[in-house]
């Protein structure tokens, strides 16, 4: 998702005010540096900075997308590298482990939903459901 670009309400207000002041007198000088020319210069400075900021956000979005694409390419290549090591040396080899894989003979048992704990380590109670659907704790009978 692209970052939100900024629009300055103060800039819009200043542009409208400058147009109004210009209709009074294009060379209006209120003293202390308060001139229409100075006001217009500051408006343009703000417009330039806002455009620069919004362009930087667009560039940042582009760099972020490029980084994510490269990250996906890197993940794919890392997986292919590991599969290549597995193909050459086997999934039970030391080399497979050195490449970051878990050798087959070192994997945990019970990966298909089986409990890896023995029956003596099970909790002393089992949740059951009575006939009306309410849950209740019943003592285990073993």
pLDDT for 18 beyond 70: yes
- Read off the pLDDT of residues 38-59 as tens digits, 9 standing for 90 and up: 999 999 999 999 999 999 999 9
CA within 13 Å, CB half, 77: 6
Read off the tokens for 5.
Answer: 């670009």
- Verdict on whether the full-model pTM lies above 0.75: no
Instruction: Give yes or no for residue 75 having a pLDDT over 90.
Output: yes
Which class for 8: exposed (0-12), middle (13-18), buried (19 or more C-beta within 10 A)?
A: middle
Task: Share the mean pLDDT of the chain.
Answer: 85
Q: Which residues pair with 111 in a beta bridge?
A: none
CB 28 within 8 A of CB 36: yes
Task: Name the token pair of 134.
Answer: 């309410």
Q: What is the pLDDT of residue 95?
A: 94
Q: Can you give the pLDDT at residue 107?
A: 82
């Amino acid at each position: 998702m692209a970052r939100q670009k900024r629009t300055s309400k103060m800039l819009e207000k200043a542009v409208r005010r400058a147009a109004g002041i210009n209709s009074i007198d294009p060379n209006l000088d209120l003293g202390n540096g308060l001139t229409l020319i100075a006001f217009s210069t500051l408006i343009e400075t703000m417009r330039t900075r806002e455009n620069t900021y919004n362009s930087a956000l667009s560039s940042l979005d582009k760099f972020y997308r490029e980084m994510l694409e490269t990250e996906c390419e890197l993940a794919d290549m890392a997986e292919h590298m590991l599969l290549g090591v597995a193909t050459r040396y086997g999934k039970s080899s030391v080399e497979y482990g050195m490449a970051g894989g878990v050798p087959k003979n070192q994997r945990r048992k019970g990966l298909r939903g089986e409990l890896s704990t023995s029956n003596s380590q099970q909790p002393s109670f089992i949740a059951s459901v009575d006939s009306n659907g309410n849950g209740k704790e019943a003592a285990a009978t073993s």
